[in-house]
Amino acid sequence: MRIDAHQHFWLYEPVKDAWITSEMEVIQRNFLPNDIGQTLKNNGFDGVVAVQADQSLRETEFLLELSQVYALIKGIVGWVDLQSEQVEEQLNHFKQFPKVKGFRHIVEGESDPDYLHKDAFLRGIAALTQYGYTYDLLIKPWHYESTLKCVAANPKQAFMLDHIAKPPIKSQEFSDWAAFIEKLAAHPNVHCKVSGLGTEADWKHWKLDHFTQYIAHVIQCFGKDRLVFGSDWPVCLLAGSFKDTIHIVSDKLTDFSPEELAGFWGDNAVKFYGLT
């Protein structure tokens, strides 16, 4: 099954979606499965993983409602308050919905460098492990150390690194990010989404070779069976089309076998998230 492991859907609201700034005008509107369905078919995709874009329980419910209407949504990475004393009640509630596969917090928006290693957050991760949910890591460089501590403290938790940790592609800086990736990938319970790369480059002037060293490094560190593709649609539209997002990655996979390509473009995501 060919899967886009990272898509967002929303009904645009200027206050709720204040992160969508004026320079992002192209995505200042509603985006729903109908807007991407034909494009997915044209590019051979069978379905998507819908990932939260808002920090609310309502967001998870919204994605669930969409999944009941649109069969292309094969799995959901939602949001719960992982630091809440009622986190287990929230997880138990969502356990009745098989399409909810995991959860994410927008840690990149948190200024605390130790956010992922706070006691309350670690209790939430432990609850995810207990309930069999995945966790998507969305981080910035100042979270590198707490990310490594969090992962080391939770060896039985399935982690997915979003957007290969958002490397500084625009400036072509490499060493700090590369060292972090090498350390993180040493943990076998961490997988990686090759996603969201166009928006880390110069939106208007990127070239395919701007991404080469970053993609090569995650392939080397994670291996081919722990990588999945994600478009980060519609956010990817800031830097190009859906097809551009595919091209950024596809020309870097020349040494993948047919089985490894099938894994990258879908089978690895199916296994990680338990999609059907």
* Amino acid present at 131: Y
pLDDT in tens, 227-250: 999 999 999 999 999 999 999 999
Confidence (pLDDT) at 104: 98
Long-range pairs for 88-95: beta carbons < 8 A, 24 or more residues apart: 88/127, 88/130, 88/131, 90/57, 91/127, 91/128, 91/131, 91/133, 92/131, 94/60, 95/131
Confidence (pLDDT) at 272: 98
Per-residue H/E/C for 152-200: HHCCCCCEEEHHHHCCCCCCCCCHHHHHHHHHHHCCCCEEEEECCCHHH
Alpha-carbon span 137 to 139, nearest angstrom: 6
Confidence (pLDDT) at 134: 98
Confidence (pLDDT) at 205: 96
3-class state of residue 113 by DSSP? coil
What per-residue string of b and e applies to 123-138 under the rule 16 or more CB within 10 Å gives b? ebbbbbbebebbbbbb
Confidence (pLDDT) at 248: 97
Q: Residue 63 — left, alpha, or beta (φ > 0 → left; ψ -120 to 50 → alpha)?
A: alpha
Alpha-carbon span 31 to 108, nearest angstrom: 22
pLDDT in tens, 55-93: 999 999 999 999 999 999 999 999 999 999 999 999 999
Alpha-carbon span 256 to 128, nearest angstrom: 33
pLDDT in tens, 85-138: 999 999 999 999 999 999 999 999 999 999 999 999 999 999 999 999 999 999
3-class state of residue 88 by DSSP? helix
pLDDT in tens, 192-201: 999 999 999 9
Confidence (pLDDT) at 157: 98
Confidence (pLDDT) at 14: 93
* Packing angle, helices 175-185 and 212-222, rounded to 10: 20
Confidence (pLDDT) at 30: 97
Q: How confident is the model at residue 224 (pLDDT cuts 50, 70, 90)?
A: very high
The predicted model scores a pTM of 0.97
169 and 209 in contact (C-beta within 8 Å)? no
Closest CA to 193 of 139, 151, 237: 139
Q: How confident is the model at residue 187 (pLDDT cuts 50, 70, 90)?
A: very high
| CATH number belonging to domain 3-273 | 3.20.20.140
Give the chain's largest Cα–Cα span.
Answer: 48
In the chain, at which residue ranges do the beta strands (DSSP E only) sit?
A: 3-7, 47-51, 73-78, 100-105, 134-137, 159-161, 190-194, 227-229
pLDDT above 70 as % of the chain: 100
Confidence (pLDDT) at 4: 98
